[in-house]
Structure 1
Amino acid sequence: MDTIRTIGILTSGGDAPGMNAAIRAVVRSAIYYGCKVYGINRGYKGLIEEDLVEMNLSSVGDIIHRGGTILKSSRCEEFKTEEGRLQGVKILKKHNIDSLVIIGGDGSFIGAQKLSELGFPAIGIPGTIDNDLPYTDYTIGFDTAMNTIIDAIGKIRDTSSSHERVNIIEVMGRHCGDLALYAGLAGGAETIIVPEVDIKIDEICTKLKTTQKRGKRHSIIVLAEGVGNASDLGKEIIKKTSADLRITVLGHVQRGGSPTAFDRILASRMGARAVDLLLDGKSARVVGIKDNKIIDLEINEALSKTRSFDKDTYEMVKVLSI
Structure 2
Amino acid sequence: MTELKRIGVLTSGGDAPGMNAAIRAVVRGSIYHGVEPVAIREGYKGLIDNDLEVVNARSVANIINQGGTFLKSARCQEFRTKEGRAKAYENARAANLDGLVVIGGDGSFTGAMLLEEEHGIPCIGVPGTIDNDIYGTDYTIGYDTALNTVVEAIDKIRDTATSHNRLFFIEVMGRDAGFIALNTGIAAGAEEILIPEQENSVEKLMSGLQSSGRAGKTSSIIVVAEGDKSGGVFELARTVEKSFPEYEAKVTVLGHIQRGGKPSCFDRVLASRLGVAAVEALLKGESGIMVGVRDQQVVKTPLERAISKQNTIDSHLMKVAEIITV
Category of TM-score, reference length = shorter chain: over 0.9
One-letter amino acid of the structure 1 residue matched with residue 37 of structure 2: V
One-letter amino acid of the structure 2 residue matched with residue 298 of structure 1: P
One-letter amino acid of the structure 2 residue matched with residue 94 of structure 1: A
Q: Contact 2:2–2:282 (CA<8 Å) still a contact in 1?
A: no
Q: Contact 2:102–2:109 (CA<8 Å) still a contact in 1?
A: yes
Match of 2:173 in 1: 172
Q: Contact 1:26–1:275 (CA<8 Å) still a contact in 2?
A: yes
User: What are the residue-to-residue correspondences of 1:76-115 with 2, within 5 Å?
Assistant: 76-115=76-115
Q: Contact 1:201–1:236 (CA<8 Å) still a contact in 2?
A: no
Whole-angstrom CA distance in 1 between matches of 2:234 and 2:173: 15
Match of 1:119 in 2: 120
Q: Contact 2:106–2:306 (CA<8 Å) still a contact in 1?
A: no
**Among 226, 231, 234, the residue aligned to 1:231:** 234
Q: Contact 2:133–2:310 (CA<8 Å) still a contact in 1?
A: no
One-letter amino acid of the structure 1 residue matched with residue 296 of structure 2: N
Whole-angstrom CA distance in 1 between matches of 2:307 and 2:208: 38
Match of 2:15 in 1: 15
- Which sections of structure 2, spanning at least 5 residues, go unmatched? none
Residue 272 (structure 2) pairs with residue 268 (structure 1): yes
Q: Contact 2:26–2:275 (CA<8 Å) still a contact in 1?
A: yes
Match of 2:308 in 1: 304
Match of 2:281 in 1: 277
Q: Deviations over 1:134-174 (max 9, x none)?
A: 22111000000011000011001111111111100000000
Q: CA deviation at 1:316?
A: 1.4
Q: Contact 1:148–1:254 (CA<8 Å) still a contact in 2?
A: yes
Q: CA deviation at 1:2?
A: 5.0
Whole-angstrom CA distance in 2 between matches of 1:92 and 1:191: 50
One-letter amino acid of the structure 2 residue matched with residue 191 of structure 1: E
How many residue pairs were aligned?
322
Q: CA deviation at 1:97?
A: 1.3
Whole-angstrom CA distance in 2 between matches of 1:221 and 1:4: 52
SS in structure 2 of the partner of residue 128 of structure 1: coil
Match of 1:52 in 2: 52
Whole-angstrom CA distance in 2 between matches of 1:272 and 1:316: 36
One-letter amino acid of the structure 2 residue matched with residue 24 of structure 1: R
User: What are the residue-to-residue correspondences of 1:156-167 with 2, within 5 Å?
Assistant: 156-167=157-168
Residue 144 (structure 2) pairs with residue 140 (structure 1): no
Q: CA deviation at 1:130?
A: 0.5
Match of 2:188 in 1: 187
Q: Deviations over 1:53-94 (max 9, x none)?
A: 111111100010100000000101111111111111100111
- Between 1:60-69 and 1:222-231, the stretch displaced more is 222-231
TM-score by length of 2: 0.96
Identity of matched residues, %: 50
One-letter amino acid of the structure 1 residue matched with residue 174 of structure 2: G
One-letter amino acid of the structure 1 residue matched with residue 39 of structure 2: G
Q: CA deviation at 1:101?
A: 0.3
- Which sections of structure 1, spanning at least 5 residues, go unmatched? none
Q: Deviations over 1:249-290 (max 9, x none)?
A: 000000000000000000000000000001111111110110
SS in structure 2 of the partner of residue 10 of structure 1: strand
Q: CA deviation at 1:95?
A: 1.0
Q: CA deviation at 1:208?
A: 1.4
One-letter amino acid of the structure 1 residue matched with residue 131 of structure 2: D
Q: Deviations over 1:24-64 (max 9, x none)?
A: 00000101111111111100111101111111111100010
SS in structure 2 of the partner of residue 170 of structure 1: strand
Whole-angstrom CA distance in 1 between matches of 2:30 and 2:204: 54
User: What are the residue-to-residue correspondences of 1:234-245 with 2, within 5 Å?
Assistant: 234-242=237-245, 243-245=247-249
One-letter amino acid of the structure 1 residue matched with residue 111 of structure 2: G
Q: Contact 1:12–1:102 (CA<8 Å) still a contact in 2?
A: yes
One-letter amino acid of the structure 2 residue matched with residue 6 of structure 1: R
Q: Contact 1:201–1:237 (CA<8 Å) still a contact in 2?
A: no
One-letter amino acid of the structure 1 residue matched with residue 210 of structure 2: K
